[in-house]
Chain A
Amino acid sequence: MSASSDVGYHAQRQARWHYGEAAFWLIVLACGFVFPSRYLIMTDILRLALFAMSLDLILGYAGIVSLGHAAFFGVGAYAAGLLALHGIINEPVLALVVAGLVAMVLGFATSFLVIRGVDLTRLMVTLGIALLLEALAERFSNITGGTDGLQGIEMQPIFGEIPFDMFGKTGFFYSLAVLFLLFLFARRVVHSPFGLSLRAIKNNPLRAAAIGIPVNRRLIAIYTLAAFYAGIAGALFTQTTAIASLDVFAFERSADLMLVLVIGGTGYLYGGLIGAVLFRMLQELFSTITPQYWQFWIGLVLVAIVLIGRQRLHRWMLYVPNLVIRQIAGRKAVVAAPESDA
């Protein structure tokens, strides 16, 4: 092998699909058939996963912290709701894309505020924007329904063919398809030179500029893309639950998202997906044990994660699955612990 093609081979190392990834998606798909009574909670997890993947794009790759990511979720949710309620766009997929684009425009507009300043400034600016939108949604209740939210949304069949059913089966597979497509797209983007340049900016903005990377332009681009993803997640929320209320903008929604990524890890795209599953399962578990104090236990878990270190936890968790994988598919197939820390 020549040195050049050898370099090409290694440069694409991370972009290649691993057995573990295929297994992951097959398991997710299988869940849709194995647990037919749990569509609603599973759909909820898929939405959260997509939303978390959106935050991972800016936090895990570009190092932009945000405490107001719900701003885009909320805009997407209301956009989808209004489109369906007033019959502007009846076809759900098209409405989904349009709602995502609306959030994207907002993302682009606010990105100029966010790229200025450092972490603390960014936390405050993103938080402020989300609070602002929540207040606006409450103020203009003639459009948004105020504290009652948008009511009476009726979803039309997907592509005019597949109606939403009361068990949420359509909603689940619809959400899964959207999540998977957007995942494929994100996966492609993060393994491009553009995606790599984001990681460089996160690692060392000074050096990034010193090799000719237009730092601000790249940050604006990824922030805008992440806003699109969050908007789609919000639109899915409205489309699969047929409601949109003020809590789509809530601070807790943005904060939970951070927790999801702390649990799942950042910078490898699966963090948001795994984190969403674990977060909801923990939530479920703790609220069955102690309905009133589940947040205490979630808090305890977070402290433990931070103290023990996520990498170590992942290695422990992957220990048994990897033993099995090694037997079946050999050493190379072993699922490695994610590389970067939040």
Chain B
Amino acid sequence: MTIALETQNLEKQFGGLRVTRDLSLKIEQGARHALIGPNGAGKTTVINQLTGVLKPNSGRILLEGQDITDLPVHKRVLRGLSRTFQINQLYPDLTPLETIGLAVSERLGHGGDWWRRMGTRSDVNGEIADLLTRFHLLDVKNEQTVTLPYGKQRLLEIAVAIAAKPRVLLLDEPAAGVPESERHDILAVVGSLPRDVTVLLIEHDMDLVFSFADRISVLVSGALLTEGPPEQVARDPQVKAVYLGEEAVNV
């Protein structure tokens, strides 16, 4: 099996605090890999290093075998590494149509076009239409993002990441804060991602993790505690100790 995304001895410190400790992860091509851990375990810090928002103090990050440790954020995206954010990072003034249109344009290399009007490329328009439909955003495509209900914003957050046609997708708590009534849409979308897309899921919600992941890594205090298939991780006494009192692990 080929490795889609790999970290080698990743190390990150904020002042004296080691938030990522000698972390070596291997995520297989096409995997549904979950990264779990209690609050403050440094999960989001890992994501931020993978995507280039933060630079690790040492260690390497490989995307499909190539070293991307020093690449800026936008170049990693063009190489097929895309993410969603735990807290929505959208464009409040832009519409879903514009937001997705921009992501598609950038991927196809039209993002720097300064003369041709937005909306005049049929290939881009087609993809926008597809994504809007798939993510149930067609009816709100011309509304300003800031005015959308939270669940729709969450869908848009994921749609934008998918618009980059990633080969590796990092989902940072995709269902966080979504009301129960709208959760189903999110979970369905996450579940229907094509199999050739490798997914790394950061999640608190154990139901989601155990229904979705085929492999789980447990992060505690920035270091890898254990890793394995869901059944094995669920039985692991160390993991149980970490999540003591959280009945969700009793799968």
Binding site for B on A (CB under 8 A): 2-13, 15, 188-189, 191-197, 199-200, 203-204, 206-207, 209-215, 218, 221, 339-340
A133 → chain B closest CB, angstroms: 28
A84 → chain B closest CB, angstroms: 31
Docked complex Cα distance between A309 and B82 (Å): 38
Q: B102: CB under 8 A from chain A? A: yes
Q: How many A-B residue contacts, CB cutoff 8 Å?
A: 154
Judge whether A211 and B142 touch: CB under 8 Å: no
Name which of B3-11, B30-38, B88-96, B231-239 contacts chain A.
B88-96
**Known interface pairs A194-B112, A196-B118, A197-B102. Does A210 touch B51 (Cβ–Cβ under 8 Å)?**
yes
Docked complex Cα distance between A297 and B221 (Å): 60
Docked complex Cα distance between A215 and B74 (Å): 8
Could you pull out 25 A-B pairs where Cβ atoms are within 8 angstroms?
A3-B133, A4-B122, A4-B128, A4-B129, A5-B125, A7-B97, A7-B141, A8-B119, A12-B117, A12-B119, A189-B114, A189-B115, A192-B117, A193-B110, A193-B118, A194-B114, A200-B91, A206-B85, A209-B73, A209-B77, A210-B161, A211-B82, A212-B106, A212-B107, A212-B111
Binding site for A on B (CB under 8 A): 51, 53, 72-75, 77-78, 82-83, 85, 89-94, 97-99, 101-103, 105-107, 110-120, 122, 125-126, 128-130, 132-133, 138, 141-142, 160-161, 163-164
Docked complex Cα distance between A7 and B99 (Å): 12
Judge whether A203 and B93 touch: CB under 8 Å: yes
Further 20 A-B residue pairs, CB within 8 A, beyond A10-B119, A207-B90: A3-B129, A3-B138, A7-B97, A7-B101, A7-B128, A15-B117, A15-B119, A189-B115, A192-B118, A193-B114, A195-B118, A196-B94, A196-B118, A197-B105, A199-B93, A200-B99, A206-B89, A210-B83, A210-B85, A212-B74
Q: Nearest CB to that of A9 among chain B residues?
A: B119
Docked complex Cα distance between A340 and B122 (Å): 29
Tell me which residues across on chain B come within 8 A of A5, comparing CB atoms: 122, 125
Tell me which residues across on chain B come within 8 A of A207, comparing CB atoms: 85, 89-91, 160
Tell me which residues across on chain A come within 8 A of B91, comparing CB atoms: 199-200, 203-204, 207
